[in-house]
Amino acid sequence: MNAFVVPAATNVGSPALNITIFGIFVAVTLVIVIRASRRNVSAADYYAGGRAFSGRQNGIAIAGDYLSAASFLGIAGAIALTGYDGFLYSIGFLVAWLVALLLVAELLRNTGRFTMADVLSFRLRQRPVRTAAAISTLVVSFFYLLAQMAGAGGLVSLLLGLDGDTAQNIVIALVGVIMITYVLIGGMKGTTYVQIVKASLLIAGSIVMTVWVLAKFGFSLSNVMGAAVDNSPKAGEKLLGPGLKYGTSNLTKIDFISLSLALVLGTAGLPHVLMRFYTVPSSKEARKSVEWAIWLIGLFYLLSLVMGYGAAALVGPGKILSAPGKANSAAPLLAFELGGEILLGLISAIAFATILAVVAGLTITASASFAHDIYAQVIKRGQVNADAEVRVARMTALVIGAVAILGGIFAKNQNIAFLVALAFAVAASANLPTILYSLFWKRFNTRGALWSLYGGLISVITLIVFSPVVSGKAPLVEGGPSPSMITDPSVDFSWFPLDNPGIISIPLSFFLGWLGTVTSSEKANEVKFAEMEVRSLTGHGAEKAVAH
Amino acid sequence: MSNEAREHTGTEYEELQRTEEFGELRRRFRRFVFPMTALFLAWYFLYVLLAAYAPDFMSQKVWGEINVGLLFGLGQFVSTFVITVLYVRWADREFDPRAQALHDRLEGGRP
């Protein structure tokens, strides 16, 4: 709770202006969503936007989905405070897209309809595999959602000048309600337009800030970095090389490698990213989506390098750390330093828009997975009409929205980076091995899929619960609170030494997928495998765009 | 939900899967994406390991405040962009026409 004892003087900008700009964003996007929803009739409309988006539109929307608050505020802040080690995050997040481009996007688009489970259960036993894949989807989406909602709460104190508990809770609830409205009215089509608007604003805002920072330093990155060093008395020269955060011991180095592994393998297993590939009419457009996404996300991370060092140079680590949002406030504080109230208002509104859009994307993914996989296929065994299925999806979205609001209120003082890392670790451990095996390994069977999915899921959660992330980190100051989730330093049940479980759980899940397959007597279904392989490569029988 | 002209049975997929042309398509696809994946993962982990275990090398200044580590990091951006462009060009020229021909063959009836 120490975030709230800082003097009010660190609240910068004009809350009224911030709220106004944000209100305009919400109003404009709502109009777009309502217009987009006029033709929201079929399941393909609700889940996949009628599969009518172009590769470029979907690529921008993917960038909107992917560049979450953790990317925008988190990475700029991490670079401002830990320099080069913050930059490492963005590289893992970017390179990961090559896994999606080369191995997953097109094949998945050709074989599935709405969800990740469609592909995983294609040639295996439907009900157990679908259930496992849906559970994994819900878990990943839930942790990701919680991180975004918690981030929303944390930001409020800085951006809107509200620092009471109740005020923060009200803002979290408001974000949740707006998001539910988007999803219920707009479905995937509306959500996609929100992502496109948001991604465009985010990248435009970042370009403005980057050019502004560079202009102050004679358009030389070297000068920006030099000024960042001069303004960081504690870190000094170390800001520019690796090791400030992860180089302190052998254990932290292994932790860093483990994180890198989860980042690079997690993206292609994130259900809300995978689902976006169904919103385009063909695998060629899916390829184009990823191409656009890579350009935009790469550009954004290059910009965030300048913004991060710029924040260190112009704002300084002391001021960033004493602001209510700590590292997350680096980018907004830089905006205030550069362009005063108005730029701060714009950047704050973009940050809120970011959270809103990502939360909407996650909600539609989770609701689709529940309605399409669990309700329609597992409970009703496919004997359900599309209208009923979409009705269930809408009701699920309401429930998820309510859970997200409650979870966000509960988790608002939690460490959000850990929640995102957890989502990536589950995606890389549980989802990716199963996706790759089912696309490329003929022998792969039901037991292999279940062992790999559940094994990955259970090992990640177990290792995190018993890691220093949850309990047992030594307090930063003598007698102070522990930086673990459980802040009481006397509670310590951790036995796993790493913050990031990927280095254990990812190989384990690949191994379990292999072991389950070879110990099972179930033969690969030759006919289904032939169908899956031919369809995945030729695009034959792939779901087409909805004609209106 | 199928918009195809007629229903396709599993055996037709099996027949196509056994053809020389399909084998060729699969071979070409795997020969491109698997080595490329191995390459970028190796390059990425080389970078990660250098950052973890050779911080002094990475901190060497090249000019001004620009050091080896930053150049390596920017190199990851460049390699990602280059592989993306290479793959898209390869897929448009080499892969798509072959895949489309097989797709049409299924549409047109017997292989």
Residue in A97, A95, A252 with CA at minimum distance from that of residue B44? A95
Per-residue pLDDT, B42:
97
Per-residue pLDDT, A284:
93
- A334 in helix, strand or coil? helix
Per-residue pLDDT, A416:
66
Tens of pLDDT, residues A516-543: 999 998 888 888 999 999 999 999 888 8
Mean pLDDT of A35-62: 86
Mean pLDDT of A470-482: 75
At A161, give phi and psi (nearest 5°).
Answer: 65, 20
Judge whether A327 and A91 are in contact, CB under 8 Å. Answer: no
- A111 in helix, strand or coil? helix
CA distance B67 to B54: 13
Name the percent of chain A lying above pLDDT 90. 42
pLDDT exceeds cutoff 80 at A255: yes
pLDDT exceeds cutoff 90 at A315: yes
| Cβ-based neighbour number of residue A70 at 10 Å | 27
| Tokens 């409020």, located at residue | A156
Residues of A in contact with B10 (CB under 8 A): 527-528, 530-531
Mean pLDDT of A256-264: 92
- Contact criterion met (CB < 8 Å) for B99 and A538: yes
Q: How confident is the model at residue A1 (pLDDT cuts 50, 70, 90)?
A: very low
Handedness of CA A361, A365, A371, A376 (dihedral sign): positive
pLDDT exceeds cutoff 50 at A288: yes
Per-residue pLDDT, A144:
87
Residue in A132, A111, A543, A141 with CA at minimum distance from that of residue A373? A132
- Contact criterion met (CB < 8 Å) for A291 and B3: no
- For chain B, the C-alpha Rg in angstroms (whole number) is 22
Judge whether A393 and A371 are in contact, CB under 8 Å. Answer: yes
Q: Which of A285-299, A413-427, B58-72 has the lowest mean pLDDT?
A: A413-427
| Tokens 């909602």, located at residue | A149
Residue in A308, A329, A290, A269 with CA at minimum distance from that of residue A89? A308
Per-residue pLDDT, B4:
43
pLDDT exceeds cutoff 80 at A477: no
Cβ within 8 Å of B, A 224-253: 225-226, 229, 237, 240-243, 246-247, 253
Token pair belonging to A334? 């830089």
Tens of pLDDT, residues A193-251: 989 999 999 999 999 999 999 999 999 999 999 999 888 888 888 888 887 878 778 88
| Cβ-based neighbour number of residue A498 at 10 Å | 21
| Cβ-based neighbour number of residue A93 at 10 Å | 23
Instruction: Sort A396 into a burial class: Cβ within 10 Å, 0-12 / 13-18 / 19+.
Output: buried
Cβ within 8 Å of B, A 9-28: none
Residue in B87, B72, B94 with CA at minimum distance from that of residue A98? B87
Tens of pLDDT, residues A323-334: 766 777 888 899
Domains of chain A, start order: 2-416 (1.20.1730.10)
Residue in B62, B59, B74 with CA at minimum distance from that of residue A237? B59
- A502 in helix, strand or coil? helix
Per-residue pLDDT, A157:
64
User: What does each C-alpha distance from B89 to A46, A62, A243, B77 come to in angstroms?
Assistant: 33, 21, 38, 19
CA distance A539 to A280: 13
pLDDT 10s per residue in chain B (111 long)? Answer: 444 444 556 678 888 999 999 999 999 999 999 999 999 999 999 999 999 999 889 989 888 889 999 999 999 999 999 999 999 999 999 999 999 999 998 887 544
Mean pLDDT of A358-386: 88
- Contact criterion met (CB < 8 Å) for A534 and B13: yes
Judge whether A116 and A137 are in contact, CB under 8 Å. Answer: yes
Listed in sequence order, the residues at least 6 apart from B31 whose beta carbon sits closer than 8 Å to its beta carbon are: none
Cβ within 8 Å of A, B 46-75: 47-49, 51-53, 55-56, 58-59, 63-67, 69-70, 73
Interface ipTM > 0.85: yes
Per-residue pLDDT, A3:
39
Per-residue pLDDT, A2:
37
CA distance A491 to A488: 6
Q: How far is B64 from chain A (nearest CA, A)?
A: 6
Q: Which amino acid is at A231?
A: N
Judge whether B95 and A287 are in contact, CB under 8 Å. Answer: no
Mean pLDDT of A7-28: 72
pLDDT exceeds cutoff 90 at A97: yes
What separation, in Å, do the N-terminal and C-terminal C-alpha atoms of chain A show?
53
Tens of pLDDT, residues A147-158: 888 777 767 666
Per-residue pLDDT, B2:
41
pLDDT exceeds cutoff 90 at A276: yes
Mean pLDDT, chain A, rounded, equals 87
Q: Which of A150-159, A275-284, A466-475 has the lowest mean pLDDT?
A: A150-159
- Contact criterion met (CB < 8 Å) for B41 and A264: yes
Quick one: how far is CA A483 from the chain centroid? 23
CA distance A156 to A145: 17
pLDDT exceeds cutoff 60 at A5: no
pLDDT exceeds cutoff 90 at A143: no
Per-residue pLDDT, A4:
36
Per-residue pLDDT, B10:
60
Q: Which amino acid is at B69?
A: G
Mean pLDDT of A275-292: 94
pLDDT exceeds cutoff 70 at A166: yes
Cβ within 8 Å of B, A 264-323: 264, 284, 287-288, 290-291, 294-295, 298, 301-302
- Contact criterion met (CB < 8 Å) for A540 and B102: yes
Q: How confident is the model at residue A433 (pLDDT cuts 50, 70, 90)?
A: very high
User: What does each C-alpha distance from A280 to A249, A287, A309, B11 come to in angstroms?
Assistant: 47, 10, 38, 29
Per-residue pLDDT, A304:
93
